[in-house]
Chains A and B, each alone.
Chain A
Amino acid sequence: MADKTFAGLSYDDVLKKYADTVAGVCVMRLQNWADAEDCFQNTFIKLFQKSPDFRSETHLKAWLIRVAINECRNYIAKNRRFLSLENLSREPVEWRDNERDVSWALMRTEPKYREVLYLYYCEQYKVAEIAEILGKNPNTVKTLLKRGREKLKQIYGGDEDEKAEL
């Protein structure tokens, strides 16, 4: 069945190890659990069907995030005219109380800032890695990070955690 290996990991191991990462990317991007599940499943279907040759687990993780982002973009593009209407009827992402404010603020930022902020703060990627995953210039990623933090601060109205300085 699942005899394929990905950077030394079986399919089940990859699924268990990076399911949360892929789910977080999809939820952050789509802001909808149902839509995020479609992209989540599509991401792992592509992993199994294409079976790329990964050099390392880092490469595997970056590949999964990149595919998940692309899946979300394609999903938005395909359902652009229905998205606003469906968002009204679908249940939004539910957060715990201590997560609600930050996540709510992050959701209100523009997607281009949201992706960079999520990858930088949540997935602990460096600027160069984010630039490689998103296919953008590192300086562009730095600019997006800076502006994204400012946007987030305006929305949330609080100080940033200076955990990561650019």
Chain B
Amino acid sequence: MKKLNFDSLNNIKAPEQWIKNAAAIPELPQKKRTFPLYRVAAAAGIVLVSVIGLLTYLSFGDHAPIELRDNAADDVQPTDAADTVTFPDDGDVLSLDSILPTLPRVYPTDASGDPVIDNPTHPQSAREKASVTAPTEKDGSGSKTVIPTEIAAEPTQGVPSAQAPEPTDLPIPTEPPEESIPIEGHGEVIAGGLCFTATFPASLIEEGEPIYCTYQEQGYAAVAEDQQDLPVQYTVMKNGMVFAMYEPVDYDYGEASTTFEYMFYQNGKVLARGTVTV
């Protein structure tokens, strides 16, 4: 049997070339340990996003950027940029279109002399209706009334405010102003008596101040002063409109056709104008 002498394994010598190559290791260019650029970029990005988020949060202050509200869709308000404001007609509030057709219009321009009701060809009627009556917009879901933004925001814009005198300084005017008015009245004969009526927005009047009416027969001067001093009966309706009515006192009109022009005014501001033929 052979004997194993493990000491012979100690005679393994490293070749000289190995040692020379290993001795040259310190002279080799050492790779510099560089900090990875992507780590710097990632850290900078995180810091930047954090700072921007913090500044954005601080810029809001006490106001939350988003306010959670229930039924937010029901509280949509018109914006300044919107041309029209649309709201649904719930049926409880009467619109202009639903009221005005109930008041028959009488124009004296019929060739036969008979009263003309709702004459669409009347030039003044068409002009004033276009400026007062809110256009309607029909869609598949139902009727919706579209009111121009100007009227919705400032209903009194139709009458120039510069022309309206101070209510406390002006007495009852003897002659109503002659500026054009957007409201058209409707005269009618009720129970055999003459009656002047008109409907206009309540925002045109001042609460508590009397509304007066003046009228005249076509081709004649204005009626007597004492009749102008009589206040007009008017009612403010739920829809924000005012229904005014004036009955001339003891005015005796003959059998022949007579046309009256009248207007309602308050503090020198014309509220409505109309004609009636009896």
Contact = CB atoms under 8 A, between A and B. Distances in A.
Interface in A53-103: 96, 98-99, 101-103
A102 B10 CA distance: 11
A161 B5 CA distance: 6
Given A11-B26, A41-B22, A27 B6 contact: no
Contacts of B7: 121-122, 161, 163
B19 to A, nearest CB: 5
Contacts of B8: 98-99, 102-103
A146 B9 CA distance: 18
Contact of B25 (A48, A121, A156): A48
Given A16-B19, A41-B22, A23 B9 contact: no
Chain B binding surface SS class:
helix
A1 interface: yes
Given A15-B19, A20-B13, A41-B22, A157 B6 contact: no
Q: How large is the interface on A (under 10, 10 to 19, 20 to 34, 35 or more residues)?
A: 35 or more
A152 interface: yes
Nearest to B2: A158
Interface residues on B, range: 20 to 34
Interface in B1-46: 1-15, 18-19, 21-23, 25-27, 30
Interface string A1-41: 11010000001100110011011100110000100010011
B25 A45 contact: yes
A131 interface: no
A48 B28 CA distance: 11
22 contacts: A1-B26, A2-B26, A4-B26, A11-B26, A19-B22, A20-B14, A22-B14, A23-B18, A24-B9, A45-B25, A98-B8, A101-B2, A102-B5, A102-B9, A103-B8, A122-B6, A153-B4, A157-B1, A157-B2, A158-B4, A159-B3, A161-B3
Given A48-B25, A121-B9, 17 more contacts: A20-B14, A23-B14, A23-B15, A41-B21, A41-B22, A96-B11, A99-B9, A101-B2, A106-B9, A118-B9, A121-B6, A122-B12, A157-B1, A158-B3, A159-B2, A159-B3, A163-B6
Interface of A: 1-2, 4, 11-12, 15-16, 19-20, 22-24, 27-28, 33, 37, 40-41, 44-45, 48-49, 96, 98-99, 101-103, 105-106, 117-118, 121-122, 152-153, 156-161, 163
